[in-house]
Structure 1
C-alpha cells in the first residue's frame, strides 16, 4: 500500500467499549415489515468497505464496516453540531500507539438506518477531534465506523469484487455454497479466529487473530508467547498507522505462510508493530495479532455471529501475490474533492527518497495523467504494481515544480 497513515480499527480495542456499553445498551438493527434480506452496494476506499448510513433521518454519511469496533463510532466531530446531538457525556479515551489521550463524547439516543435496516435509540461515541483523518486516508469523506451492532443483527455477506453486501435475518439458514466454514470466538463483541502460521525459524505456530475488516494492514503480528513477534529476515521501518494513543510504529515484512481453514496463503505482507505500542497495551482479550481487509478481499465472505462462524470462498484474486508499496511514498488526500495528494512521509533509501521527494510535496501527475483525475485507490495500485516499473512523475514543492523518472523497487 502507498500509505499506512491509518491502521484503522485497532484504535478502540483498549477498554473503550467497556467504558461505554454498560452505561448505554444498544438495540440491534432490524428490518421493517416482512423483509428478510437485502443487497446493499458499497464503496471501496483503499480496499475498505464503506456503507451509507443515515443518523436521525439525516445523511447519508459514509461509515466503514468494521468488525474491530464494538460500538458505533462517529469519527467526524462536525456531526456533533450538524445532528444537534443532546445528552452528551464527555470522557477521556486511551488507546494504542504512543502515550496520549483523546476526548470524546457519548450519547444514547440516536437512530441509525442502513438500507432498510434500522436501529433506534442507540448509543454512539463521537470523537472530539478528527485525529484519525480517515477521510484523508480513504480519499473520500468518512464519518465513522460501524461494527458489532450491525454484525450481530444479521448474517452479513461481503462480495469484494462486485462491491455489494447481502444482509439476511439471523433466523434464515444461509451459508456460502462451496465455502469453507471456520469457527469464530466472539469475545467482548469482536470476532477471533485460530490460524496456523509459518514464520522465520518457526513453523506451524498456532495464533489467535482478531478479524478486523476496518484495518488497512493485511496482517498485524503483535506478539508471540508474550514477546514481540519475530521479525522476518527482510523488513523495512514503517509507520503502521494512528491509534487513539498516537502513531503506531513498527516494521513491514512478509509472513511465509498463513493457514486459515482449508486455505493456505503464502508470502503475505505483514505489519510488525512495536510491542510497547500495541501488544503491551492490550489488557482485554489476549491475541497474537489481527487479520485485515486486504486479506479478506481475496474471498467472498459471510459473517454469521449467531452461529459463531465465518464462511470463506476464494475469488479470482486468491492466487495473486500480495504486494506492498514500491515507491517509499506515503500520501494523504485533501481538498474539497479529496483530489489533491500531499506527501506525509518518505522512506529513507527508497525510490522516492532517491528521487528527492520531501514531506509536504504535492503529487501533480503520473505518466502525464493528472493526479486530480485519479483516486487514492488508483494511485496506491500504481505505486505497488510492478518491480522495476518506471513512472514519470510531476511534483510540486511550493511554487516550484520538478519532474523525472521514478523506478519502483520491491523492498520486501
Structure 2
C-alpha cells in the first residue's frame, strides 16, 4: 500500500511538473488540427486566454505573445502578476509600454499551456482590426512553434500541431527541405533574388505576420535596391512601433532552391522603420504571407529545418494595390434599407370580380461598417481623381460598400491595369462620385 501511494505521488509530481513549465501540451493525443481564416494573407486563429476566446494572428516573426485591443475585456481576462516593460517592433515611433503578465492559461485548439507569459498593450492605437476588417486581439508565434512541429496548410486553411517525439516524416518527392536558422527565437531561411540581372543570396525572416510577398533591406554594395525608376513610394503597413513606409517594386525572380517565382512583388522599407530589425546583421529582409501562401509548410524548430511543397496558389500572379487607397474600418454608418414590400388585395365594391392591389413598402435602419480612407498615395489615380483622406466609401462600381468585406474592396484595387473604378463617397455629409483608372507603375 505504501509503495502504491508513493508511485501515485511520484506520477502526480511528474504530471504537475510537466504542465507547470511554460510550454504547450496536447493531452491524450499526439497532434491537433485547427482551422484558420486567411485574411489579407494573414493566418487568424481562435485562441482562448484564461477561458476567454479571442482572435490571434499566427506570426512566426514574433518571439513574445502580445495581447492588445481588449477594451473592457481586461477584467474578464484576469490579467495578473504583471510588471511594466517596453516593446519595440517595426515602425519609427519608438518603444511602447506593455505589462508582462505571468501564469496565464492559453488554449490553441486542444493544445494547452497553463503557465503562459503574455505582454499586454493597452495603447488603443495598437489595433490591427481596422485594417483587416475583423477583430484581432493578439499575436502569437514562437511559443507555438517551439513546442510542436507545425504543419501550415495554406491551400486548405488549417494548421496541424504535432508532438515532436511522436512525429514521423513522410516521403515527399515534391518537397524541398531547408535549414532553419533561429536567432532570438525567430526563423530565417536562405534564398536568392535576381535584381538587374544579378543573382543575390539573401537571408530572410520567415514572417507569417506580414501580408506582403517580400521585403528587402536596401544594400547598394550587394545590389539590393530598386533599379532605375521602376518603383514608387507607398505605405507598406502598420508595425508594433508605428506605420511603415518605403518603396514598392518587383524583382525579376525569387528562388528557394528549385522553387522559382518570377516578377515577384518586393518592398524596400525605409531605414527608420527597420532600425530595430537590422540589429541582426545577417538579415536581408523577410518572406511573408503573399509568398508563403504559395506553399504548404512544415516548421520544425526542434531539428531546425523547414519543408516546403508547392500548392495550388503557386502559379498565381503577384498583384498590388494600384489605386493608392488604404481603407480602414472606422466605426459604423446608419443605413436606410428596404425592409419588405407586401401586396395586399381588396375586393372592388362595384365589381366583386375585381381586386384593388395596394403596395405596402416599409424601411428599416441598420448599422453597417464604415470604410474610411486613411492613407492616400501621392499622385496615385485616386488622389488625382480628387479623393481625400477621411472620405467614407458608399459604393464601388455600383456595389454598396455595406455588402462587401474590407478584403473584397481591397481586391478591387488590385484588379488589372486599365480597370475603371467608380467610387461614391461621403465627405462631411456630402455625397460625391469619382472615377479613375487603375494603372501599373512598373
Same fold (TM over 0.5): yes
Aligned residues of 1:66 and 1:214 also touching (Cα < 8 A) = yes
Superposition pairs of residues 291-302 of structure 1, within 5 angstroms: 291-302=287-298
Superposition pairs of residues 4-403 of structure 1, within 5 angstroms: 27-33=22-28, 35-59=29-53, 61-78=54-71, 79-171=73-165, 172-175=167-170, 177=172, 178-200=174-196, 203-224=198-219, 229-233=224-228, 234-279=230-275, 282-284=278-280, 286-335=282-331, 339-403=369-433
Alpha-carbon distance change, 273 to 118 in structure 1, aligned in 2, over 3 angstroms = same
Aligned residues of 2:175 and 2:308 also touching (Cα < 8 A) = yes
- Measured in 1, the distance between the counterparts of 2:169 and 2:111 equals 18
- Measured in 2, the distance between the counterparts of 1:26 and 1:325 equals 45
Give the C-alpha shift of residue 224 in structure 1.
Answer: 2.9
Counterpart for residue 13 of structure 1: none
- Measured in 2, the distance between the counterparts of 1:333 and 1:275 equals 29
- For the residue of structure 2 that corresponds to 1:31, the secondary structure is coil
- Measured in 1, the distance between the counterparts of 2:25 and 2:415 equals 42
- Measured in 2, the distance between the counterparts of 1:184 and 1:410 equals 36
- Measured in 1, the distance between the counterparts of 2:89 and 2:403 equals 37
Structure 2: 5+ residue runs without aligned partners? 1-19, 333-366
Aligned residues of 1:235 and 1:252 also touching (Cα < 8 A) = yes
Q: Deviations over 1:63-111 (max 9, x none)?
A: 0000000111112243433312112111233443224331111011111
- For the residue of structure 2 that corresponds to 1:125, the secondary structure is strand
- Measured in 2, the distance between the counterparts of 1:132 and 1:229 equals 31
- For the residue of structure 2 that corresponds to 1:339, the secondary structure is strand
Alpha-carbon distance change, 338 to 108 in structure 1, aligned in 2, over 3 angstroms = farther
Aligned residues of 1:199 and 1:255 also touching (Cα < 8 A) = yes
- Measured in 1, the distance between the counterparts of 2:68 and 2:280 equals 23
- Measured in 2, the distance between the counterparts of 1:261 and 1:191 equals 18
- For the residue of structure 1 that corresponds to 2:129, the secondary structure is helix
Find the structure with the greater CA-based Rg. 2
Q: Deviations over 1:284-310 (max 9, x none)?
A: 463010111111111112212112111
Q: Larger relative contact order (C-alpha < 8 A, sep ≥ 6)?
A: 1
Alpha-carbon distance change, 110 to 285 in structure 1, aligned in 2, over 3 angstroms = farther
- For the residue of structure 1 that corresponds to 2:393, the secondary structure is strand
Structure 1: 5+ residue runs without aligned partners? 1-24
Alpha-carbon distance change, 285 to 65 in structure 1, aligned in 2, over 3 angstroms = farther
Alpha-carbon distance change, 391 to 220 in structure 1, aligned in 2, over 3 angstroms = same
Q: How many corresponding residue pairs? A: 385
